[in-house]
Amino acid sequence: MSGDIRLRREFIATALLLVLLALLPLVQRDVYWLGVLVVSAYFAILASSWNLLAGFTGQFSLAPAAFAMIGAYGAALSATYYSVPPILGLIIGTGAAGLIGLVLGRIVMRLKGPYLALTTLSFAEIARLVASNSINITRGDLGLPIAGWFNDRVLWFYVFLGALAFVICGLYLLLRSKAGLFLEAIRDDEIAAARSGVRIVFWKTAAFSISSAAAGFAGALYAYFASLVTPELGLVQQTGLVVSMTVIGGMGSLIGPVVGAFLVYVTSEWLRDVGGWQLVIFAALVIVFARLFRTGLWGLVTAALQPRRGKPA
Partner 1 sequence: MLTGALAADLAVNGLVTGLFYALMAVGLALIFGVLRIVNFAHGEFYMVGAYAYTIVAARLGVPLAVALPTAFLFGAALGWVVERTLMRPLYANIATWGLMRDEYAVIVTFGLSLLLVNLVDKAIGPYAFRAPALVSASRIVVGPALMSGQKVAAAGVTLVTLAFIALFLRFSYWGRAVRAVSQNRLGASLAGIDATAVSSLVFALAGGLAALAGALLSPIINASPDVGAFPAIKSYVIVVLGGMGSILGAFIASLLLGLVESFGAVLVSYQYRDTFGLVLLILFLLFRPQGLFGERGREV
Partner 2 sequence: MRNVSHLAIAALTLSVSLAGSAYAADPVKVGVTVTQSPPGSVVQGTQVKDGLEVAAKMLNDQGGVLGRPIELVVEDTQGLPEKARAAVEKLITRDKVVAIVGEHQSSNVLAGMEVAHRYHVPYINTNGWADAIREKGYPEVFNPNNYNRRVAMAAADSIKKLGAKKVVAFAENTDYGIGLAKGIAEQLKAVAPDISYRFDTLDRAAKDYLPAILPLRSDPPNVVVDIMLPPAAYIMMNQVYEQGVAPATKTWLYDASGLADYPDFWQNVKEAGKDMLVFGLYHPKMKAPELAKTIGDAYTKKTGAQPNRLLYQAADSLLVVADAIKRANSTEPDPLVKALEATKYTGTRGEITFSTESGYKYHQWLDIPYVTFQITEIGQKVADAPLVEQAGQPLDPSKLARP
Contacts (CB under 8 A) with partner 1, residues 238-257: 240, 243-244, 247
Contacts (CB under 8 A) with partner 1, residues 39-68: 54, 58, 60, 62
Find all residues with CB under 8 Å of 152, minimum gap 6, and list them: none
Q: Which is nearer to partner 1, 19 or 284 (CB)?
A: 284
Name which of partner 1, partner 2, none residue 204 binds, using a CB cut-off of 5 to 8 Å depending on partner kind.
none
For partner 2 (CB under 8 A), the number of binding residues is 20
What is the rounded CA–CA span in Å between residue 313 and residue 203? 24
Q: How many CB atoms lie within 10 A of CB 306?
A: 13
User: Which of 95, 148, 162, 170 lies at the binding interface for partner 2 (CB under 8 A)?
Assistant: 148
CB of 153 to partner 2, least distance (A): 8
CB of 32 to partner 2, least distance (A): 4
User: Which of 143, 180, 252, 312 lies at the binding interface for partner 2 (CB under 8 A)?
Assistant: 143
**Cα dihedral value 25, 31, 36, 42, nearest 10:** 80
Please report whether residue 141 would count as binding partner 1 according to CB under 8 A. Answer: no
Name which of partner 1, partner 2, none residue 17 binds, using a CB cut-off of 5 to 8 Å depending on partner kind.
none
The pattern of x and - marking residues 176 through 195 that bind partner 1 according to CB under 8 A reads -----------xxx------
Q: How many CB atoms lie within 10 A of CB 121?
A: 16
CB of 233 to partner 2, least distance (A): 8
- The conformation of residue 60, written as its DSSP 8-state character, comes to -
Q: Which is nearer to partner 1, 114 or 197 (CB)?
A: 114
| E runs forming strands in the chain | 144-145, 228-229
Q: Which is nearer to partner 2, 129 or 284 (CB)?
A: 129
Residue by residue, DSSP assigns 113-151 as: HHHHHHHHHHHHHHHHHHHHH-HHHH-GGG-EE---S--
| CA nearest neighbour of 75 among 239, 269, 186, 222 | 222
Please report whether residue 274 would count as binding partner 1 according to CB under 8 A. Answer: no
| CA nearest neighbour of 124 among 238, 222, 47, 286 | 238
Contacts (CB under 8 A) with partner 2, residues 7-46: 30-32, 35
Task: Give the count of alpha carbons within 13 A of 65, CB side only.
Answer: 23
- Report the interface residues with partner 2, using CB under 8 A: 30-32, 35, 132-133, 135, 140-143, 145, 148, 151, 226-228, 230, 232-233
